[in-house]
Amino acid sequence: MLVKAYSPLLKLDCNSISIYRLSHGPRLHSPSIHASTSSSSSNDPTTNMDKSQSPSVLRSRSSFGRLKVERVRTTRPKELVVQVPTKNPPLPVDDDDVVESPPPLRKWTRKGSETRVGSSNKGWNLKYDSPEPDSTPRTNFSSGSDFFSRKSFRDVGYSDFMIECLRKLNFQRPSHIQAMSFAPVKEGKSCILADQSGSGKTLAYLAPVIQRLRQEEIDGKSMASSQSPRLIVLVPTAELASQVLVNCRSMSKSGVPFRSMVVTGGFRQKTQLENLQQGVDVLIATPGRFMYMIKEGFLKLGNLRCAVLDEVDILFNDEDFESVLQNLMSSSPVTTQYLFVTATLPVGIYNKLVEVFPDCEVTMGPGMHRISTGLDEVLVDCSGGEETEKTPESAFMNKKSALLQLVEESPVPKTIVFCNKIETCRKVENALKRFDRRENQVKVLPFHAAMAQESRLANLEEFSNSRPEKGSQILVCTDRASRGMDFAGVVDHVVLFDFPRDPSEYVRRVGRTARGASGKGRAFIFVVGKQVFLARRIMERNRKGHPLHDVPSAYELSR
């Protein structure tokens, strides 16, 4: 479905701001769109046109008070357009071509499989029906019950103590990636674990490795020693390190005892060294702090059994990371297991990994390089009209107006706004704070690298673990928040205020919502100029279930 809306906010000329909504289900089926034109009024200019010369789109309009709705009939009906009313009177139409006008539109809402253009009482309901013969419904890969494997934890090979631990943490069945990866990871094989955001990859590597380490400790084969952890997890950000630590401590408190700690910048080094000297099983670190600990002799890897590189595609974006990997390999026993975890696996990254680890197995989940099937995408064209001067400033003003309209007309408890630059984050933060100076409706929480780490973590903690009783929480951030973060509460909306620089980043950003087995969410993608075409291509691939990135071919995976 295509929805187009124009914003009158801030008294800006925003007549060119458009909202496109492309459904993921079968094409829209509505009796009003298929209505026969044989009974059309003679006053309708479209009915008197020669059919051989008539356009493929027949338009009919009806007033919705503040807004005006334009129904579009095409050979493949799927569009609904909402526009700001103009001074020109609506075209005369036939009653069969339009649906009774509800009261003024308030917001767009979604309920189950029904997409509704919301109103104060009676709504205009547009339900998905069976697809037309020429339509291409979006392929479902791992949604709803398909998110989970048909096998139980016991069928996969989890031990009794691990099954009991996961039961206490409310895990009843493994996801696809958890079931597929358990056997090779538990056997100590080096693997690439790849699946879409929110598929459960952290547990996919933690559970089998911890089970193996715990069993080795019971059998007396290995145990934690001073300054020498048995498992190291390298992650790109301190926030992701803290998140992995939370998962480790949850497991250790649920019946599988082991010690874990984080080593990152921004915390007291003395405390970190004291904890490390006491001996830990699991060490979670960022690459920079890991290298510092190695060079200064504070960290020894002679006891290392497994090294995990989480979000490995992001780690490789750092030009210094290959030297970090070389130091890790040269300081570790030759029997060390290496696990590479990612939501996106571009061919270039894959080739780098198999060049260094030729025996590495690849476990790729069914949602690889795809977005969640519970995600609605909304494309917002902020280019401006033909008469508008195209400048970065005008583009920002148009996008700001669209964002404020969204916040005002479709308030939700939690929204993440992604920007490409820290400077843009600050401008968006200021605009939202001016919009609601008393924070009665909106609580703005900035999150980017220019902030002090304590403030950044405090905002992340508030956004993740609190649900506002009224109003909305809006996390304004850079890509730092898209790198593996799994927010504890449901994220209702994700806004891509700036278009991402590559498809991988698109997948990670929109993957902050609609997570897990039954997750639902909506992503608003703001675009200008040439970005419109690219975004439409991305959304079309998503609708068809195609991956956004080229994945390694069967030939490459079998080499």
- pLDDT tens across 277-289, in order? 999 999 999 999 9
In this prediction, residue 469 carries a pLDDT of: 77
**CATH T-level fold of 153-364:** Rossmann fold (3.40.50)
Q: Give the chain's mean pLDDT.
A: 75
Bridge partners of 128? 28
Between CA 160 and CA 168, with CA 164 as vertex, the angle to 5 degrees is 170
pLDDT band with cut points at 50, 70 and 90 for residue 348 = confident
**CA distances in angstroms from 66 to 20, 63, 69, 108, 378, listed in the order given:** 19, 8, 10, 15, 22
> Is the pLDDT score of 219 beyond 50?
yes
CA pair distance 62, 93, nearest whole angstrom: 8
CB of 226 closer than 8 Å to CB of 247: no
Q: Supply the pLDDT for residue 489.
A: 64
pLDDT of residue 517: 67
Partners of residue 64 on adjacent β-strands: 67
- For 444-495, the DSSP string reads EEEESTTS-HHHHHHHHHHHHH---SSSEEEEEE-GGGGSS---SS---EEE
pLDDT at 429 (0 to 100): 96
The residue ranking higher by pLDDT, 160 or 97, is 160
Residues of the chain above pLDDT 70, percent: 70
Type and span of the H or E element at 434:
helix 422-435
CATH superfamily of 375-557: P-loop containing nucleotide triphosphate hydrolases (3.40.50.300)
pLDDT digits over 223-244, tens only? 888 999 999 999 999 889 999 9
- Tell me the Ramachandran region of residue 547: left when phi exceeds 0, alpha when psi lies from -120 to 50, beta otherwise: beta
pLDDT confidence of residue 552: 56
The answer to whether 85 and 15 have CB atoms below 8 angstroms apart is: no
How far from the centroid of its chain's Cα atoms is residue 549's Cα? 15
Closest CA to 418 of 532, 312, 507: 507
CB of 241 closer than 8 Å to CB of 235 = yes
Paired sense of beta strands 414-418 and 472-477, if any: parallel
Q: Once rounded to an integer, what is the mean pLDDT over residues 400-413? A: 94
Q: CB–CB of 287/296 below 8 Å? A: no
**pLDDT tens readout for residues 247-300:** 999 999 999 999 999 998 766 778 888 889 999 999 999 999 999 999 999 999
Other C-beta atoms lying within 10 Å of the C-beta of residue 222:
15
Q: Which of 209, 200, 161 is nearest to 179 (CA)?
A: 200
Q: Which of 194-203, 333-342, 440-449, 458-467 has maximum average pLDDT?
A: 333-342
Q: Exposed e or buried b for every residue in 42-55, given b needs 16+ CB within 10 A?
A: eebebbeeeeeeee
535 or 489, greater pLDDT: 535
Across the range 4-25, mean pLDDT stands at 36
The answer to whether residue 537 scores a pLDDT higher than 50 is: yes
Q: Do domains 153-364 and 375-557 have the same CATH topology?
A: yes
Q: What is the mean pLDDT of residues 362-391?
A: 85
Domain-wise residue ranges, the chain = 153-364, 375-557
Would you mind telling me the total number of residues written for the chain in this entry? 559
Has residue 169 got a pLDDT over 90?
yes
Helix axes 422-435, 392-409, angle to 10 degrees: 50
Whole-number pLDDT of residue 67: 28
**For residue 47, what pLDDT is reported?**
38
For residues 71 and 453, the model is more confident at 453
> In the structure, what pLDDT confidence band is assigned to residue 74 with cuts at 50, 70 and 90?
very low
pLDDT, residue 480, reads: 81
pTM of this prediction exceeds 0.85: no
Per-residue pLDDT of 107-165, as tens digits, reads 333 332 222 222 222 222 222 222 333 333 333 333 334 788 899 999 999 999 999 99
